[in-house]
Each structure stands twice: as C-alpha cells, then as structure tokens.
Amino acid sequence: KSDEFKARSLSSENRARSVLRSEMYQAQNSFRTAGE
C-alpha cells in the first residue's frame, strides 16, 4: 500500500513539474516575442 502511495505521489510530482516547465517555456516564448 505504501508503494502505491509512493508511486502516486511521484507521478503527481512529475506532472506538476512538467506543467511548471511548460508554463516557464510559454512565458519565455511570450517574453521573447514581446521583445521583438
């Protein structure tokens, strides 16, 4: 049961990290286009 919880928390952590990365990427793109 603890292994299942560990896997679930890890997947949610990875999901949050990927969302954060995509948001940062979009922010960089908008910043770059705004500068041009």
What local confidence, expressed as pLDDT, does residue 19 receive? 96
pTM of the predicted model, to two decimals?
Answer: 0.56
**pLDDT per residue as tens digits for the range 1-36:** 789 988 899 999 999 999 999 999 999 988 777 776
| Dihedral over Cα of 32, 33, 34, 36: its sign | positive
| pLDDT given for residue 32 in this prediction | 79
Provide the pLDDT for residue 31: 79
Domain count of the fold of the chain: 1
Residue 4 tokens read as: 């299942």
Residue 1 belongs to what domain range?
Answer: 1-36
Residue 12 φ then ψ, to 5°: -65, -35
- What's the rounded Cα separation, in Å, for the pair 7 and 13? 10
Q: What is the pLDDT of residue 36?
A: 62
User: Which pLDDT does position 1 carry in this prediction?
Assistant: 73
